[in-house]
Chains A and B, each alone.
Chain A
């Protein structure tokens, strides 16, 4: 009976069928309940707690780590005054890393999803290789970049030999190293959504493009790229957002002067300086800034049918 009811347009069934429809409707809400409770406990409540912390004050003469509840909006002004360069730098690094990951990830995704279509084994192997970095720890992989970019390492040696780097030039502890680390670590987050999108690309549309006088690049620009925008949008967001808040790459691959990212500042405010209100205020500023940037970006490039 339920099968028959499902075929019929809504509202035409008998009283019992409509009651069954309602029961099915309620089942959906029960199913999302665990997720709802989880998000409430571990996301919504902490956000409010963070918001409250960001407005605390330190009473005169209080011990380290002792704060009093207040509505001290001045915390936001102070941290912005002190740390706006780190905030801007974080977005700049994340932006460059996202662009680099897009330039590397898109061709990779295109190769696997379009060029190798129908060659299932090769596709599978390459997909595993794309995900393979996740098999080892994030920290270890970032440490490995230290070796790759080390003064006596192959990259520096080659660049020095080609005079692309001065003889005393270094790559470790530079902004370049940090952006390399960010690009590398978030590359799969860029590649996989684009792959998932391009995998469904109808290659007959590419043929139609070339049939209508569009060369390879023009077809890419007018057909393939616009159709894969949902994947590009998802990939860039999944790369940019975590990269802006990242503190591991800057800590391991950067220096203490000109590569500090906002994540490091928040980390040290929380755990070293024990300035909970300052750290919380910075966290909130970072969140809001990302929210604004992402909203503008999605408005500009987003499509109605996201991925």
Chain B
């Protein structure tokens, strides 16, 4: 064996800088008669920060565990850097995980925890690399402590260092911030993103927290019932959800079901409860028949009836049911006859606020509405988002 081979042999495949592409092809995981992951196809490009977002039981954690090698798919293939890893054990994969509960070894010092993976691969300067990784997460001074002597946030960083130090082709994060309080979570979100940029690895992040996914990830896949509902950049998912589940789970949406009654060329008009709602064709999934129109609460403008524009489209008259003042904005619930109750977020810039019982008019730009297929369940995902 040459010197070169000696040095590189224990390195996991694809551990090159920048990580490696991860792809799942028709992956299905069945537990008894429950399908946790249903024929999932996913390609995650090298170096990206990818979030699997969904409510509990949507299959995101099972997907992560299959990538880690802690579960084997019932069918389908998992490939990293073009190499088929289906059927190999977790210890044979160039993948490391930051576990939800951190899973730090309580009988080892923090430094030994971080050096664990390096030692298993017989990396020569394991201790020095582990120290450097601890410096990266700003815990260089705590290497001699036991994990039990650290705070939750510090343990989280140790878990991250323990995974990152191995320079895995893919780094998996399983609800890594779930156990932290809100303030610490925000801080760690920023730091995680910073570290990912610094080390340039492929991060796959599983979470049920939409804010977390949107803050950190370049690409978000919204999962529901073992399938990916929609995949894209956070902003694209938010501005143009393609299913009611995504519209309700990722932020809030007002979804109104109706029928397409007019084709204006670049837009269609949907009639619902005696109102006319326009949606641009490139933002609408259905151009005829039944359709659902969605508008985000912050895209709705709340106006006094005297200020209402003189058009017959994108104009809803209603009565304020409830208001809640949150400082930056005010949230209104407005009852619109024939349609139901809509939510409105209104930025506070010193205008006179409507009170419960006031008659108001809601208006919006056609470009802000999105159209979903007419058979969508308008309440899908709303309860799951509330649970999260």
Contacts and interface: CB of A to CB of B under 8 A. Distances in A.
Interface of A: 202, 204-205, 207-215, 218-219, 222-223, 226-227
B4 interface: no
Q: Which 4 A-B pairs have the closest CB atoms?
A: A212-B117, A208-B103, A213-B120, A210-B90
B349 interface: no
Interface stretch (B55-63, B94-102, B175-183): B94-102
Contacts of B206: none
Contact of B117 (A202, A213, A223, A227): A213
A210 B91 contact: yes
B14 to A, nearest CB: 14
Contact of A204 (B91, B101, B162): B101
A210 B70 contact: yes
Interface string B144-170: 000000000000000000100010000
B101 A211 contact: no
A228 to B, nearest CB: 10
B99 A204 contact: yes
Given A215-B91, A218-B120, 13 more contacts: A204-B99, A204-B103, A205-B105, A205-B106, A207-B99, A208-B99, A210-B69, A210-B90, A211-B69, A212-B91, A213-B121, A214-B120, A215-B89
B89 A211 contact: no
B291 interface: no
B172 to A, nearest CB: 9
B116 interface: yes
B120 A212 contact: yes
Interface string B42-58: 00000000000000000
A215 B117 CA distance: 11
7 contacts: A207-B103, A209-B105, A211-B68, A211-B90, A211-B96, A212-B117, A215-B89
B124 interface: no
Interface size classification for chain B: 20 to 34
Nearest to B10: A213
B91 A213 contact: yes
A225 B196 CA distance: 34
A214 B91 contact: yes
Contacts, number: 60
A205 B113 CA distance: 11
A218 B219 CA distance: 37
A31 B101 CA distance: 40
B90 A207 contact: yes
Interface of B: 12, 68-70, 89-91, 95-97, 99, 101, 103-107, 116-117, 120-121, 162, 166
In this complex, the member of A202, A207, A211, A218 whose beta carbon has the largest number of chain B beta carbons within 10 angstroms is: A211
A116 to B, nearest CB: 18
Nearest to A222: B116
A237 B333 CA distance: 70
Contacts of B116: 209, 212, 214, 222
B70 A202 contact: no
Contacts of B70: 207, 210-211
In this complex, the member of B70, B90, B97, B117 whose beta carbon has the largest number of chain A beta carbons within 10 angstroms is: B90
Contacts of B162: 212
B197 to A, nearest CB: 24
Contacts of B103: 202, 204-205, 207-208
A78 B121 CA distance: 59
A223 to B, nearest CB: 6
Nearest to A210: B90
Nearest to A203: B103
A219 B106 CA distance: 14
Nearest to B120: A213
B380 to A, nearest CB: 33
B351 to A, nearest CB: 49
Contact of B105 (A210, A213, A218, A223): A223
Contact of B107 (A208, A213, A215, A227): A227
Contacts of A211: 68-70, 90-91, 95-97, 99
Contacts of B166: 212-213
A219 B120 CA distance: 10
A27 to B, nearest CB: 32
Contacts of A218: 91, 120
A158 B95 CA distance: 50
B127 to A, nearest CB: 16
A226 B105 CA distance: 10
A215 B96 CA distance: 14
A223 B104 CA distance: 10
A209 B106 CA distance: 12
In this complex, the member of B69, B99, B116 whose beta carbon has the largest number of chain A beta carbons within 10 angstroms is: B116
A227 B95 contact: no
A245 to B, nearest CB: 33
A210 B89 contact: yes
A229 to B, nearest CB: 8
Contacts of B90: 207, 210-211
A217 to B, nearest CB: 11
Contacts of B91: 209-215, 218-219
B177 to A, nearest CB: 17
A208 B105 contact: yes
Contacts of A202: 103
Contacts of B99: 204, 207-208, 211
B121 A227 contact: no
A212 to B, nearest CB: 4
Contacts of B96: 211-212
Contacts of A205: 103, 105-106
A227 B103 CA distance: 13
Nearest to A207: B70
